[in-house]
Amino acid sequence: MNTSVSIKDLSLNFGAVSVLKDLNLDINDGEFLVLLGSSGCGKSTLLNCIAGLLDASEGQIYIKGKNVTWEEPKDRGIGMVFQSYALYPQMTVEKNLSFGLKVAKIPQAEIDKRVARASEILQIQPLLKRKPAELSGGQRQRVAIGRALVRDVDVFLFDEPLSNLDAKLRSELRVEIKRLHQSLKNTMIYVTHDQIEALTLADRIAIMKSGIIQQLADPTTIYNKPRNLFVAGFIGSPSMNFLHGELTNAGGKTAFVSNGVTFSLDGYQTEQSLQPGRKVVLGVRPEHIKVNENIGAEVHEATVDIEEPMGADNLLWLKHAGHTMSVRIAGSRRFAPGTPVKLSFDMSLASLFDAASEDRI
């Protein structure tokens, strides 16, 4: 596979503050890569370095094999879409779309063709004569995407393009961005702190913390095999259940013990040896705990504390041996607070982390 954008040993400092540290990232041609992380982790800084809006302190950036580290933004073959749409308020939608092309002295016939194509893809033809003030937030964001589209670029950069929109519009435009990628097949780099956007849009997600990529993988791997405790806790809502304890030996087999309760680890896959005595954290997602069904040999008694019916799903908060645990079950299954239940854990889908290093075992 060809590399579209390649970031090599990139560091960026604002004065004495180091925001990106020795960052390496290769993005494939046509890939949808999502940069995910909490506020201040350096997502926009990285995107702005790729765009050429910020100069790298150290390292290089290659786009389509060409070293663009010191190129002007306009010469990098990128189109950027911001959270604040940054449209020209005094210009019509049509002018907003064509203005950059006029400045670049593209022939009028070509401009007309590109504007027509972009407005068809984004379904904004009826809006071409309006000004931004006469558009809804979703329509404005569509025009902002259109402005990147007409530039005929190799790489699209999106910085939280949906975060100013209400929840319904956000999920609608999310689908449109996915459709756009499926039809254009351009490389897209998309910054968000919204894990649902990341999971639904990405071919691969790079999860960042304090300027360092914690894990780079496809959404399924990130969700099912988080590389460390940070990634495990960041993805998933409600969060993975974390039990602190240690490995032990039960009947000749390795098991996990926490608050005096032993859990079989049958089915847990790892290359590492599970030494008894090692301090670990067991992580289990709410949907990987069964309540009163398919109970295997090992039964854990618990009590329903709170029920949160969510329509399709029902979220139970349970008390189990001094832990509070969340469990996701079908919305049709209801449990009154105080009901005793039997739990079984699917260890083939669980995660174990070393308590000291916080890395996956």
Ligand X SMILES: Nc1ncnc2c1ncn2[C@@H]1O[C@H](COP(=O)(O)OP(=O)(O)OP(=O)(O)O)[C@@H](O)[C@H]1O
Indicate which single residue of 4, 44, 69, 195 sits in contact with Mg ion (rule: CB under 5 A).
44
Closest separation in Å from C-beta 110 to ligand X: 35
- Show contacts with Mg ion in window 219-238 (CB under 5 A): none
* Among ligand X, Mg ion, none, partner that 267 touches (CB below 5 to 8 angstroms by kind): none
Closest separation in Å from C-beta 222 to Mg ion: 20
- Show contacts with ligand X in window 193-232 (CB under 6 A): 193
Judged by CB under 5 A, which stretch of 5-13, 37-45, 135-143, 240-248 contacts Mg ion? Answer: 37-45
Q: For ligand X, how many residues bind (rule: CB under 6 A)?
A: 12
Judged by CB under 6 A, which stretch of 32-40, 59-67, 144-152, 272-280 contacts ligand X? Answer: 32-40
Eight-state DSSP code of residue 239: P
The answer to whether 284 touches 244, Cβ cutoff 8 Å, is: no
Residue 101 CB-density burial (10 A; 0-12 exposed, 13-18 middle, 19+ buried): buried
Indicate which single residue of 40, 73, 267, 331 sits in contact with ligand X (rule: CB under 6 A).
40
Rounded Cα gap, residues 337 and 306, in angstroms: 6
42 interacts with ligand X by CB under 6 A: yes
344 interacts with ligand X by CB under 6 A: no
Rounded Cα gap, residues 235 and 202, in angstroms: 14
CB proximity list for 90: less than 8 A, separation 6 or greater: 131
Instruction: Pick the closer one to ligand X by CB: 235 or 361.
Output: 235
Indicate which single residue of 5, 32, 33, 37 sits in contact with ligand X (rule: CB under 6 A).
37
Element (H, E) at 155: strand 155-159
**Phi, then psi, of 176 in degrees rounded to 5:** -65, -40
Rounded Cα gap, residues 131 and 38, in angstroms: 34
* Among Mg ion, ligand X, none, partner that 193 touches (CB below 5 to 8 angstroms by kind): ligand X
264 interacts with Mg ion by CB under 5 A: no
* Among Mg ion, ligand X, none, partner that 88 touches (CB below 5 to 8 angstroms by kind): none
Instruction: Pick the closer one to ligand X by CB: 84 or 272.
Output: 84
Give pairs for 99-107: CB < 8 Å, separation 24+: 100/147, 100/150, 100/151, 101/150, 101/151, 104/74
Judged by CB under 5 A, which stretch of 44-52, 262-270, 296-304, 341-349 contacts Mg ion? Answer: 44-52
Nearest to residue 214, comparing CAs of 37, 22, 6?
A: 37
* Among ligand X, Mg ion, none, partner that 41 touches (CB below 5 to 8 angstroms by kind): ligand X
Instruction: Pick the closer one to Mg ion by CB: 44 or 215.
Output: 44
DSSP string, 109-120: HHHHHHHHHHHH
Residue 292 CB-density burial (10 A; 0-12 exposed, 13-18 middle, 19+ buried): middle
Type of residue numbered 184: L
Judged by CB under 5 A, which stretch of 41-49, 52-60, 95-103, 205-213 contacts Mg ion? Answer: 41-49
SS3 279: strand
13 interacts with ligand X by CB under 6 A: no
* Among ligand X, Mg ion, none, partner that 40 touches (CB below 5 to 8 angstroms by kind): ligand X
- Please work out, in degrees rounded to the nearest 5, the angle formed at the alpha carbon of residue 327 by the alpha carbons of 326 and 333: 135
Instruction: Pick the closer one to Mg ion by CB: 44 or 326.
Output: 44
16 interacts with ligand X by CB under 6 A: no
Instruction: Pick the closer one to ligand X by CB: 40 or 322.
Output: 40
Indicate which single residue of 5, 25, 27, 41 sits in contact with ligand X (rule: CB under 6 A).
41
Taking 3-state DSSP, the helix, strand and coil percentages for the chain, each rounded to the nearest 5, stand at 25, 35, 35
Residues at the interface with ligand X (CB under 6 A): 14, 17, 19, 37, 39-45, 193
